[in-house]
Amino acid sequence: MVSIHMLVNGGAADSIGEVGRHVPSFSSALRPQPLYELGAWGGPSLVSGKRVLDIGCGDGRLALGVAPLATSVDGIDPDAEAIAAAKRNARTAGIRNVRFATGAAQHLPYPGAAFDVVVLSWTL
């Protein structure tokens, strides 16, 4: 059971990441921590017990961050390498309720009304 305090605050007073490590511009390491971002949007209740789709999921930063709260999380991204990394990250983290697929937002490979929440985080 993850505490609400931890989820909202992510253990940090702000969304700062690891200091002193230069990483490529496009790396999700330079994005806010997923639970900090979720906290800003309204908190865990936004995704708790819900089917979530993360469009432009990249290496799974947000999808894997919210997966422990959600019923299921799907992530989709046109970058096959990023999807491979997301799958590796899911395996490493032992998270089983996430699925990742390569694809574009214009042609989503999902049936109608399949999700309760769709996230465009740094995507649109």
Partner 1 sequence: MVDALVEIHRVLAPGGTLVDARPDSRVRAYAALRNPRGFKRFGVVNTSRLEMANDHASDNAIASAVREGLFKRGRRGRFWHLVPFSSLGELRDYLREHPRFVHRADWIVDSATRKRHSTDQFVIRRAVRYELLQAVRSPRD
Residues that bind partner 1 (CB under 8 A): 14-22, 25, 30-32, 37, 40-42, 46, 53, 55, 104-108, 110-124
Task: Please provide the DSSP assignment of 55-105 as one string.
Answer: ET-TTTHHHHHHTTTSSEEEEEES-HHHHHHHHHHHHHHT--SEEEEE--T
Q: Are 87 and 101 in contact (CB under 8 A)?
A: no
The residue (of 94 and 112) whose beta carbon lies closer to partner 1 is 112
CB closer to partner 1, 4 vs 16: 16
CA contacts within 13 A on the Cβ side of 28: 21
CB of 74 to partner 1, least distance (A): 9
Report the residue number, 94 or 111, with the smaller CB distance to partner 1: 111
CB 35 within 8 A of CB 48: no
CB of 73 to partner 1, least distance (A): 13
Minimum CB distance to partner 1, residue 79 (Å): 16
Which candidate, 77, 73, 86, places its Cα nearest to that of 122? 77
Of 20 and 94, nearer to partner 1 (C-beta) is 20
Q: How far is the CB of 91 from partner 1 (least distance, A)?
A: 26
